[in-house]
Amino acid sequence: MEKLKIMKIQQDAEKMKLVTLAFDQAHNAVMMTDADFNNGGPFIVYCNSAFCQMTGYEREALIGRSPSMLQGHDTDVAVINSLRQALKNRTFWEGSTINYRKSGEAYVVNWSISPVFDENNLLTHFLSIQQDITSRIEADRGRNALLKALDQANDPVLITDSRETIVFVNTAFEKLTGYCKEEVLGRTPRFLNSGEQDAKFYRDLWHALKNRLPFQARFVNRRKDGSRYYVEQSIAPVLNEQGNCTHFISTSWQVDDIVEREKVLYAMATEDKLTGLLTRRAGDEALTRAYHRYLEEHCPLSVIICDIDHFKAVNDTYGHLIGDRIIEQVAKVLREQTRPDDLVIRWGGEEFLVVINAPILTATNLAERLRKAVFSLKDEDVGRLTLSLGVAELLPEESVEQLLGRADGALYRAKRNGRNMAVTAAGQNTSGTMLSSTL
């Protein structure tokens, strides 16, 4: 029995040695006090190296002293009273307040204190695990100050985590979009998409962000009420110290007024003032885009050149005001007889160009409809109006200039052969076919 008792004492001593060694090497500060509330107690009976490092005191200067030695002017009295009440009630307690190091420097400490009972359930000690959370508090204050500044910014700000989940929007964002914070936090920004940006736009966006580069462009987004708005938007990845992306921050500024002005300027530059049709310059650009689409998609492309017959005589006889009225009437017919996707261009004074994605037969039939529709007009001063038209479909390996040259040649033949007719260009399947009507 005596031997077993000695072995148990040795085992307990080894356990205590192991526990002491573990506490002393712990990252967090550990302190143990007795449970004596007399004469200003409890008093410190143990503290580890982390506790000494945190407070700036040597262990010898702490043992036998009350932890109140660490308190000072800014220590929260209410927190201390709550702590002491929990100790007297022998219950677990957790809280934080300001303590002071040996140097007099203040720090914010977070405690968790547990009562320790012996095998007879008698209270013998209190074990306190402590953390210096000063840097965390300062970081939180800095973060809160930054978020407050962002919230007060005049321009909308949106922040997502690396998975695109929204974690912050400011007041300006709420005002612009009509969404409140509670409606958007936890969602992805996709609900703002208006559908006006194509897939390539978003591929370019993510290509930049995945390569840790900012992306800036004009976005057309949708408000909560469904209306659209324009913003110049900049999206940038936020990297941590290891270079990993943790967040994305988006800043934007509304450009609705700029867009409206641009639309007006664009209309002035692209719309013919008299007819509302595309100008020659805008028509050239549109025809070039149609040509490149033909090269990429191999869809048929045809043109119709239209010229008002005897227009010089109209101007000479009736004057330019009547001449302008005739041009307006013909332009109106061309718009009404073509599809929304067809291009109708005022190509010259009394000359028009129609561009359609269709083969020669469709284009020829359209040209004849245009001719008949104009022929049905009867101006109160000039009388009956007629058109001459040249039709051509783009051939393989042919340039835009060659296409227009063949259509112009067909128009010349229509004029030469009596006017008021549509002629198909040479080199087409219906080469030389002349759809004509005499007055």
Beta carbons of 72 and 100 less than 8 angstroms apart: yes
DSSP-assigned letter for residue 193: B
The region, left, alpha or beta by phi > 0 then psi within -120 to 50, assigned to residue 141 is alpha
* Residue closest to 96 by CA, chosen among 64, 128, 48: 128
Catalytic residue among 14, 138, 328, 350: 350
**Known catalytic membership, residue 232:** no
Beta carbons of 97 and 81 less than 8 angstroms apart: no
Which long-range CB contacts under 8 A does 215-221 form with residues at least 24 apart?
Answer: 218/255, 219/252, 220/194, 220/196, 221/177, 221/192, 221/193, 221/194
* Residue closest to 352 by CA, chosen among 306, 294, 416: 306
Q: Give residues with Cβ within 8 angstroms of 40, minimum separation 6.
A: 66, 68
State both tokens at 138.
Answer: 């300062």
Beta-strand pair 421-424/387-393:
parallel
Q: Give residues with Cβ within 8 angstroms of 308, minimum separation 6.
A: 314, 326, 327, 330, 350, 351, 385, 386, 387
DSSP 3-state assignment of 274? coil
User: Could you give the CA distance from residue 209 to residue 28 in angstroms, rounded to a whole number?
Assistant: 39
Angle between helix axes 280-297 and 400-416 (nearest 10 degrees) is: 120
Residues marked as catalytic: 350
